């Protein structure tokens, strides 16, 4: 390496254990749950904790939401439910994937409520409780997603079947909205009408339809129990309207190196980013292995050929754009417009948080904030800011 090349560097990395960190505001998480509870009106408000509480950490999220008042929780798998049980000993835990042969023990030992979504699951559940006292379950009805759930016709037939076992008595009937993030979509009303038809056959049993976006659709969609997920974690539930939720997660990465490059030089793989000016570049210890998606790159990936710009970071009071391709462990940011010497190795750059909304970063990558949160890698150091009691 020649001397001139060395002179174009400003500093060596500062030693430190953590190169990427998440600050998780549990006070904001609790506030968001209380906000969604108020919006739910007379309905009880659950909390969705699947996928490690949308990436922020199951234990801390569950303790916070339980303290805020949540008593109903939804997870994806019985293993998640078993992990959650000791954290919320008095909570009711619904398992969205239902019961399958071999998982019965987890349900019984941890008092988990399977969400029955098919005739096969119903048969497994009935066989599992044949030699036991009654065990609660929920019934999922498909109202248009063509995903999980009995058809409306099959569900109503089950409700009125005189041969239905007396021990099959669901504590909840539920469905899931496909288009609630678009309030004007006709599918919302279609699903609501079908769900009302189905629940009429299960008189006296609690009903649940509204996810985060469904809560914003209004009282007609609330029924007895709402199920907010992304809104609790600060994400935007409804398209093209200001997000009223408090940001919960701030993601930051350490600057490892600040270097100068000349106009006409290129940046990162593929040489797809050609510098149009003399540029000061900050290289941050963050990449797609950490869930900072390659599609956030400034250039050189298919999404960028649409003419959309890539992501930006926030550093010393100013947005700074990603340039070149994001790589597995490293990303480049153009810090030329910050005062010379302001950016130093060891500084941390905000990737999303209070200054850069997570939904804006998701939009830049061509995805949704759900994916960004649930893709957060294991290399982040997680720092929890406790909620006030």
- Active-site positions read 50, 269
**Cα–Cα distance between 235 and 168 in angstroms, integer?**
37
**Overall residue count recorded for the chain in this entry:** 389
User: What per-residue string of b and e applies to 108-134 under the rule 16 or more CB within 10 Å gives b?
Assistant: eebebbbbbbeeebbebbeebbeeeee
- Terminal Cα-to-Cα distance of the chain (whole angstroms): 57
Contact 51, 374 (CB under 8 A): yes
Contact 277, 270 (CB under 8 A): no
Contact 39, 237 (CB under 8 A): no
Contact 290, 380 (CB under 8 A): yes
Dump the DSSP string for 248-290: -EEEEEEEEEEEEE-TT-EESGGG-EE-SS-EEEEEES--GGG
Contact 216, 162 (CB under 8 A): no
**Cα–Cα distance between 350 and 90 in angstroms, integer?**
38
What's the angle, vertex CA 371, arms to CA 367 and CA 377, rounded to 5? 130
Q: At what angle do helices 26-39 and 58-68 cross, to 10 degrees?
A: 50
**Cα–Cα distance between 323 and 312 in angstroms, integer?**
9
**Cα–Cα distance between 277 and 288 in angstroms, integer?**
27
Contact 238, 221 (CB under 8 A): no
The closest of 251, 343, 313 to 19, measured between CA atoms, is 251
User: Rounded to an integer, what is the distance from CA 131 to the centroid of its chain?
Assistant: 39
């Amino acid at each position: 390496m020649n001397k001139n090349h060395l002179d174009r560097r400003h500093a060596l990395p500062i030693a430190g254990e953590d190169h990427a960190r998440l600050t998780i505001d549990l006070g904001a998480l609790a506030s968001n749950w209380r906000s969604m509870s108020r919006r739910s009106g007379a309905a009880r408000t659950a909390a969705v904790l699947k996928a490690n509480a949308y990436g922020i950490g199951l234990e801390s999220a569950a303790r916070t939401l339980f303290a805020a008042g949540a008593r109903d929780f939804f997870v994806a798998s019985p293993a998640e439910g078993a992990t959650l049980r000791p954290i919320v000993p008095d909570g009711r835990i619904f398992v969205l994937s239902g019961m399958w042969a071999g998982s019965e023990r987890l349900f019984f030992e941890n008092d988990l409520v399977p969400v029955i979504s098919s005739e096969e699951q119903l048969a497994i559940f009935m066989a599992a409780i044949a030699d036991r006292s009654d065990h609660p379950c929920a019934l999922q009805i498909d109202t248009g997603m063509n995903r999980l759930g009995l058809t409306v016709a099959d569900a109503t037939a089950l409700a009125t079947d005189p041969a239905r076992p007396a021990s099959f008595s669901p504590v909840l009937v539920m469905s899931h909205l496909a288009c609630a993030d678009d309030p004007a979509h006709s599918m919302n009303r279609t699903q609501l009408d079908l769900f009302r038809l189905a629940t009429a056959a299960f008189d006296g049993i609690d009903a649940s339809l509204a996810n985060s976006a469904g809560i914003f659709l209004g009282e007609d969609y609330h029924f007895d129990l709402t199920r907010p997920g992304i809104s609790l974690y600060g994400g935007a539930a409804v398209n093209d309207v200001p997000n009223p939720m408090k940001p919960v997660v701030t993601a930051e990465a350490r600057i490892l190196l600040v270097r100068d490059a000349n106009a006409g030089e290129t940046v990162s793989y593929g040489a797809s980013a050609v510098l149009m000016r003399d540029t000061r570049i900050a290289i941050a210890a963050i990449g797609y292995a950490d869930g900072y998606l390659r599609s956030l790159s400034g250039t050189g990936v298919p999404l960028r050929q649409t003419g959309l710009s890539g992501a930006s970071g926030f550093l010393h009071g100013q947005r700074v754009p990603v340039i070149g391709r994001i790589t597995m462990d490293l990303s480049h940011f153009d810090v030329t417009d910050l005062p010379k010497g302001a950016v130093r190795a060891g500084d941390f750059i905000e990737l999303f948080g209070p200054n850069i909304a997570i939904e804006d970063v998701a939009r830049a990558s061509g995805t949704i904030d759900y994916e960004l949160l649930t893709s957060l890698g294991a290399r982040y150091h997680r720092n929890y800011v406790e909620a006030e009691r």
